[in-house]
Amino acid sequence: MKIHLVTIFPQFFEGPFSCGIVSRARQAGLLDIRIHDLRDWTADRHRTVDDRPFGGDEGMVLKVEPIYAALRGLNAAGARKVLLSAQGPLFDQAAARRLAGYAEIVLVCGRYEGVDERVAERLMDEELSVGNFVLTGGEWAAGMVVDSVARLLPGVVGNASSTERESFTPDEAGRVGILDYPHYTRPASFEAEGETWEAPPILLSGRHEQIAEWRRQAALTKTRRNRPDLLAGRRCA
Ligand SMILES: C[S@@+](CC[C@H](N)C(=O)[O-])C[C@H]1O[C@@H](n2cnc3c(N)ncnc32)[C@H](O)[C@@H]1O
């Protein structure tokens, strides 16, 4: 997959994409990330990308011209074009799976008060929000999209089955899945604060059927506690 990021802060991505699974995917040639400085598509001496909002208000708005020029300059006509925006539909695991199905994606990162609305109206295939909060820039959101999409690409995560049975994985009916079960590792007993914190003994028993049932129940318990919305409308044993 090829992912283009259009940003006024190309240096933002130097850290996040140079470590861990995303970095390994790039080195293995499974993921081609191209970072583009929006200012390279400006025509004036000051490399201007923003201007004051029509109608008057505080702040600045990213202009349509450089984004239009960037999208043409990328030669990515067939790519899925996504604007990161607090006003978009919420990005979730289903959207990550959907985007992972495209061969090429362009992610446009807004800044300041946002982006001239003609970009969303005329140039983008969709807007996506990573949550009901406002970030300073789309780069934070784009990093989340790239990371969550990259780990779904074939061959990127060594144990592919682990991405098929984790939090939010859709069930057979296509409903958003429940949370993953809790994980534990050595030591089985941890002495702290005058107590012994035990890992659940069943997980050390080697009884695979009982372990699977324990995990199913533990995942339901955790979902009921932390994300009851995921269980709405379901009948769970
Ligand atoms: C300060 S925000 C603009 C917020 C906008 N005035 C509003 O109230 O919806 C600047 C940029 O950050 C990005 N951004 C902010 N919150 C976001 C979110 N929840 N999801 C995705 N992108 C976001 C967008 O690219 C946006 O253009």
Per-residue pLDDT of the chain (237 residues; tens, 9 = 90+): 999 999 999 999 999 999 999 999 999 999 999 999 999 999 999 999 999 999 999 999 999 999 999 999 999 999 999 999 999 999 999 999 999 999 999 999 999 999 999 999 999 999 999 999 999 999 999 999 999 999 999 999 987 777 888 999 888 888 889 999 999 999 999 999 999 999 999 999 999 999 999 999 999 999 999 999 999 977 655
Amino acid identity, position 121: E
Question: Looking at residue 203, which CATH number applies to its domain?
Answer: 1.10.1270.20
Question: Residue 49's domain is classified under what CATH number?
Answer: 3.40.1280.10
Instruction: Say if 237 falls within a structural domain.
Output: no
Instruction: Indicate whether 173 belongs to any domain.
Output: yes
Radius of gyration of the chain (CA): 22
Q: pLDDT value at position 237? A: 54
Which own/partner contact pairs does 139-144 have at CB distance under 8 Å and 24+ positions apart?
139/5, 139/7, 139/9, 139/12, 139/13, 139/109, 141/84, 141/91, 141/109, 142/5, 142/7, 142/84, 142/107, 142/109, 143/12, 143/13, 143/16, 143/17, 144/91
What residues form DSSP beta bridges with 3?
Answer: 33, 105
Pocket of ligand 1 (CB under 6 A): 84-87, 109-111, 113-115, 129-131, 133-138, 141
| pLDDT value of position 8 | 98
pLDDT at residue 150, rounded to an integer: 97
- Written in H, E and C, the secondary structure of 12-26 is HHCCHHHCHHHHHHH
pLDDT at 233: 76
User: Amino acid letter at 149?
Assistant: V
Tell me what pLDDT residue 173 has: 82
Domain that holds residue 52: 2-150
Output the CA angle 103-107-111, nearest 5 degrees.
Answer: 175
Distance 114 CA to ligand 1 centre (A): 6
CB 128 within 8 A of CB 82: yes
Residue 159, pLDDT score? 78
Last residue of a domain, one of 93, 117, 150: 150
Same domain, 80 and 13: yes
Sign of CA dihedral 93, 98, 102, 108: negative
Give yes or no: residues 120 and 16 share one domain. yes
The answer to whether position 160 is within a domain reads no
In a domain, 158, yes or no: no
What does the pLDDT read at residue 161? 72
Residue 101 maps to a domain: yes
Is 11 within 8 Å of 143 (Cβ atoms)? no
User: Both ends of the chain: CA-CA distance in Å?
Assistant: 40
Claim to verify: residue 143 and residue 169 sit in the same structural domain:
no
Collapsing DSSP to helix, strand or coil, 40 comes out as helix
Torsion sign, CA atoms 176, 16, 152, 185: negative
The confidence score (pLDDT) of residue 120 equals: 98
Q: Are 83 and 21 in contact (CB under 8 A)?
A: no
Place of tokens 């208000």: 57
Identify whether residues 141 and 188 lie together within a single domain: no
Mark which of 98, 125, 150 sits at the end of a domain: 150
Are residues 51 and 145 located together in one domain of the fold?
A: yes
Q: Say if residue 65 is in the same domain as residue 141.
A: yes
Same domain, 146 and 172: no
Residue 159, in any domain of the structure = no
Dist. CA 131 → ligand 1 center (Å)? 10
Domain end: 150, 181, 205, which one?
150
From 84, 90, 126, mutation site for ligand 1 pocket: most ligand atoms within 8 A of C-beta: 84
Number of domains in the chain: 2
DSSP three-state, residue 156 = coil
pTM: 0.95
Residue of 38, 58, 81, 85 to mutate, ligand 1, most atoms within 8 A of C-beta: 85
Q: What is the DSSP string of 94-142?
A: HHHHHHTT-SEEEEEEP-TT-B-HHIIIII-SEEEBSSSS--S-HHHHH
> Do 103 and 177 fall within a single domain?
no
Let me know whether 80 and 26 are in one domain.
Answer: yes
Tell me which residue of 65, 64, 62, 2 sits closest to 35, measured CA to CA: 2
Residues 42 and 126 in one domain: yes
Residue 50 placed within a domain: yes
Same domain, 88 and 172: no
Residues 143 and 36 in one domain: yes
